[in-house]
Amino acid sequence: NAGVTQTPKFRILKIGQSMTLQCAQDMNHNYMYWYRQDPGMGLKLIYYSVGAGITDKGEVPNGYNVSRSTTEDFPLRLELAAPSQTSVYFCASRSGTGEAYEQYFGPGTRLTVT
């Protein structure tokens, strides 16, 4: 199993550009998450999904959009990039209960907006 994969690893965007961060998992997990991590701060939830076709906003959704057309894929779209979106973005997934609440993380996408 590849686990959770993310592309690209690094990206530099100009202000106002758009891009899609890709995330895929091959563990048949229903739950998927997008976080951003800024220096010295905890992970902040952007969007999450409890299954194909179902998505919901997290703590910091402004400036982002998601879709979940399949169980495997959960892309994050940035429209009109702003310097405040410079961050490291992590995608994560999990299955069910108990220690299965454990979230598995992708390697991250380091995004700079200038």
Partner 1 sequence: GQNIDQPTEMTATEGAIVQINCTYQTSGFNGLFWYQQHAGEAPTFLSYNVLDGLEEKGRFSSFLSRSKGYSYLLLKELQMKDSASYLCAVMDSNYQLIWGAGTKLIIKP
- Shortest distance in whole angstroms from residue 77 CB to partner 1: 21
Separation between Cα atoms, residue 88 and residue 99, nearest integer Å: 26
| Residue 13 CB, nearest approach to partner 1 (Å) | 20
Please say which residue, 62 or 102, places its beta carbon nearer to partner 1: 102
If the CB atoms of residues 14 and 42 are measured against partner 1, the closer one turns out to be 42
**Interface positions with partner 1 (CB under 8 A):** 40-45, 48, 58, 90, 98-99, 101-108
Alpha carbon of 18 to those of 21, 51, 85, 103: distances in Å?
A: 10, 26, 11, 28
> To 5 degrees, how large is the angle CA 101–CA 60–CA 69?
60
To the nearest whole angstrom, how small is the minimum distance from the Cβ of residue 16 to partner 1? 28
